[in-house]
Amino acid sequence: MQTTDHVLMVRPCRFGFNAETAVNNAFQKPGGAADSIAAAALAEFDAYVELLRGEGVTVEVMQDSISPSTPDSIFPNNCVSTHLDRLADGSLRRTVVLYPMFAENRRKEITKLLAGCDSEFEIAIDLGGYESRGLFLEGTGSLILDRERHIAYACRSPRTNEVVLREWARLLGYEYFLFDAADSAGTPVYHTNVMMHVGTEVAVVCLDAVTDAARRRKLVEMLEGSGKSIVEISLSQMASFAGNMLEVRNSAGDKILVMSATARAALTASQISFLESKLKIVAPELTAIENAGGGSARCMLAEIF
């Protein structure tokens, strides 16, 4: 299945600017009183949860704890992913993956997630050992998944290493396509999920960010070959989180495309019209979270399959 109607979100208690991640996350913006940022982020989080639940999406909320300090716990999709595949004999295989994280203070999030999850989150694959070698792969921040065709798209960065990616692909039976991408200033894109999204019918991608022309053409070929209609976004739209989207389903099976209000405002009328011809757009206000955390709507959702 490409999409789910069940997501995990982590309610923050001390959300704020994380200096450890800012070294390679150009989307983060320092400044502002810590208490004000934390309060604004908490209000945005709660409203986001209620918005999704109002649309018929099942949202499991885990409350973060004060100690140890985990300022980025609001982005659980980097730490864990779940996968549900039908085997040749017709049985279902559920796989849970834990990921090696670039920032040391983000590694503490995984311990909290495990402590707060119930027995259904049995670990199958733990890639955390790569951290000691300085090699990282940050979940569905690093990986854009075509789950139906078992293709993973990823842009190379300090947080997305091919050695770990190759092992991940081997263990989960995926093909992967790795490329280099940069923003308008030439800074490498830190997470693939800020520049592209792949859903059941539509792929949203900032092709201008892909630095090699041959890889850019190959990316288009693969997306179109897998039956996706491409919505191309610009570098400036990417900077407004227009690539940070996730398609989910509600309890009735209706398709929903989640993005932030910032991202929606950055899209053109024709882009919105095309997307709305395929699914419903839901766009929460997440400005405080985006500015301090450098992540947006998609980053806050860990899909549960």
In a domain, 229, yes or no: yes
Q: Which residues of 257-277 are buried (b: 16+ CB within 10 A; e: fewer)?
A: bbbbbbbbebbeeebeeebee
Q: Rounded to 5 degrees, what are φ and ψ at 168?
A: -55, -50
| Full-model pTM | 0.94
pLDDT for the residue numbered 33: 77
Running DSSP on this structure, what letter comes out for residue 300? G
Running DSSP on this structure, what letter comes out for residue 228? P
- Identify whether the C-beta of residue 13 lies closer than 8 Å to the C-beta of residue 65: yes
pLDDT for the residue numbered 279: 97
Pairwise CA distance, residues 101 & 108, whole Å: 10
In a domain, 15, yes or no: yes
Largest Cα span, the chain: 57
Provide the 3-class DSSP secondary structure of residue 82: strand
Provide the 3-class DSSP secondary structure of residue 299: helix
Q: What's 217's domain CATH number?
A: 3.75.10.10
pLDDT for the residue numbered 118: 55
Pairwise CA distance, residues 193 & 96, whole Å: 20
In a domain, 1, yes or no: no
The tally of domains found in the chain comes to: 1
pLDDT for the residue numbered 94: 85
Stretches in the chain below the pLDDT threshold 50: none
pLDDT per residue as tens digits for the range 147-185: 999 999 999 999 999 999 999 999 999 999 999 999 999
pLDDT for the residue numbered 175: 98
Provide the 3-class DSSP secondary structure of residue 210: strand
Running DSSP on this structure, what letter comes out for residue 304? -
State the residue range of the domain holding 96: 6-303
CA distances from 2 to 85, 160, 177, 196, 301 (A): 10, 22, 18, 15, 15
Which residue, among 129, 72, 142, 59, has the nearest Cα to 103 in the 3D structure? 72
Question: Which residues are CB-contacts of 67 (< 8 A; sequence separation ≥ 6)?
Answer: none
pLDDT for the residue numbered 69: 85
- Identify whether the C-beta of residue 211 lies closer than 8 Å to the C-beta of residue 182: yes
pLDDT for the residue numbered 122: 63
Question: Which residues are CB-contacts of 233 (< 8 A; sequence separation ≥ 6)?
Answer: 204, 205, 206, 242, 243, 266, 267, 271
Chain mean position to CA 250: 19
Output the CA torsion 201→91→141→79 (10° steps): 160
In a domain, 163, yes or no: yes
Provide the 3-class DSSP secondary structure of residue 139: helix
Pairwise CA distance, residues 262 & 236, whole Å: 12
